[in-house]
Amino acid sequence: MKVTISDVAKLAGVSTATVSHTINNTRYVSNETKEKVYRAIAELGYTPDASARSFRTGKKKIIGFIVPDIANKFFATMIESVEKYLSAHGYQLIIANTRENMEREETNIRLLTAGLVDGLLVASTMDDFQRFDALIPAGFPVVLVDRVFEEKKYSSICVSNFQPIYRSVCRLAGKGDRRIGITGGLPRLSSTQERISAYRQAMADCGLPEEEGLIQYGDSLENSACACLDKLLERRCDAIIVCQGMMASETIIYLHQKGIRLGKDIDLVSFVDYDSDVYTLYADQMDTIIQPVEELGEAAGEEILKRVESPEAPIFEKVLTSAYKPCSLSVGPVRGEA
């Protein structure tokens, strides 16, 4: 049975008019009452009909951005870029943090689409498009950022890393590396799936044996790199590709602590998706894949404002490309040479 505004009002202990004013921001409602209403909305899973609400005509000039980890500098940098663009166009930004938890994402989507924002940017951690889609009110402006679904129902802004990873494997193989390991993000994410697919294709094309143990998975959160790295070192990898910026930074530090020299004891391909002294310090000792994070954020801000103005506009997909930068320092002979 569909949850109604009356159900929300009853659970919150307020009138339906108060619920309506809270959702649509049409009259002053105390913070305490708002909290009761939004708590009831989340508990009941109430989703207002977007066509009946005021976001089409009475805009709040606020955009929501749901991210998996605000502590991850990749997303922090993107948030800053989005906020800069929106601010220049008279909009404010609300951030919701899921910590790669699907239940938290579901709660945040329900809250933000219940009248708090005019549109929503989402770097989703969901593994089920139907579950995600069921949360979005009909006609509500949504843009997927960095992570997408196979179903093309929503506009999206993302980065393709297939070619840079493919090239990096081929370059490592050309240097004589035979046991090339890779660490990716969560397996359910589209970004991870693309990167692992590029790795598998390149390994096959280069005639290198593929072992499942050479593929390790972490996440976008802190301290997930070391466990992956230990497993790859146990498998005697002579090269490692790290497909996530925070994990790459942790990998560089961990290898240094263990006395493993980049470019000499092991080759490393590192994702670079935010400014870091660690990247700068070791830039000439490893290959890098540089993601256009600021451009990604700006494009996301631009697209969500377009959809706020024209919710029924055709779906738009923009795919940016990372830059592959080979190591500039030549150290030692090609592996296998005397």
Q: What is the pLDDT of residue 283?
A: 80
CA distance 146 to 28: 37
Q: What is the pLDDT of residue 220?
A: 73
CA distance 251 to 262: 11
Better pLDDT: 57 or 237: 237
Closest CA to 135 of 159, 155, 107, 158: 107
% of the chain beyond a pLDDT of 90: 67
Q: What is the pLDDT of residue 25?
A: 67
Q: What is the pLDDT of residue 27?
A: 79
Mean pLDDT of 124-132: 96
Mean pLDDT of 304-315: 92
Mean pLDDT of 277-302: 89
Helices and strands counted in the chain (H then E): 12, 12
Domains 1-46 and 58-160+292-321 fall in the same CATH topology: no
153 has a pLDDT exceeding 50:
yes
pLDDT, tens digit, 9 for 90 and up, residues 79-105: 999 999 999 999 999 999 999 999 999
CB 235 within 8 A of CB 179: yes
Contacts of residue 109, Cβ cutoff 8 Å, sequence gap at least 6: 66, 120, 122, 132, 135, 136
pLDDT, tens digit, 9 for 90 and up, residues 157-172: 999 999 999 999 999 9
Q: What is the CATH number of domain 58-160+292-321?
A: 3.40.50.2300
CA distance 331 to 35: 60
Q: What is the pLDDT of residue 338?
A: 33
Q: What homologous superfamily is domain 162-290 in, according to CATH? A: Response regulator (3.40.50.2300)
299 pLDDT tier (thresholds 50, 70, 90): very high
Alpha-carbon distances, residue 29 vs 23, 35, 43, 208, 250 (angstroms): 10, 10, 20, 64, 46
Q: What is the pLDDT of residue 48?
A: 67
pLDDT, tens digit, 9 for 90 and up, residues 156-212: 999 999 999 999 999 999 999 999 999 999 999 999 999 999 999 999 999 998 888
334 pLDDT tier (thresholds 50, 70, 90): very low
123 has a pLDDT exceeding 80:
yes
Mean pLDDT of 213-224: 87
CA dihedral 114, 120, 124, 129 (to 10 degrees): 70
Better pLDDT: 2 or 111: 111
Locate all alpha helices (DSSP H) within 136-276, ordered by sequence: 162-175, 190-205, 225-234, 245-257
DSSP secondary structure code for residue 333 in this structure = P
Closest CA to 221 of 261, 199, 182, 189: 189
Q: Which CATH number fits domain 1-46: 1.10.10.10, 2.60.40.2470, 3.40.50.2300, 1.10.260.40?
A: 1.10.260.40
55 has a pLDDT exceeding 60:
no
57 has a pLDDT exceeding 50:
no
**End-to-end Cα distance, the chain:** 74
260 has a pLDDT exceeding 60:
yes
Handedness of CA 241, 245, 248, 252 (dihedral sign): positive
Closest CA to 273 of 233, 237, 320: 320
Measured N-to-C along each axis, helices 16-24 and 31-44 cross at an angle, to the nearest 10 degrees, of 100
Q: What is the pLDDT of residue 49?
A: 60
- Residue 262 C-beta-side C-alpha neighbours within 13 Å: 26
Q: What is the pLDDT of residue 182?
A: 97
pTM: predicted TM-score of the whole model, two decimal places:
0.79
Q: What's the token pair of residue 215?
A: 């593929």
Mean pLDDT of 291-310: 96
Q: What's the token pair of residue 275?
A: 């400014």
What are 288's strand-pairing partners? 270, 325
Q: Where are the domains of the chain?
A: 1-46, 58-160+292-321, 162-290
CB 8 within 8 A of CB 43: no
Instruction: For residue 90, give the amino acid letter.
Output: G
337 pLDDT tier (thresholds 50, 70, 90): very low
Q: What is the pLDDT of residue 275?
A: 66
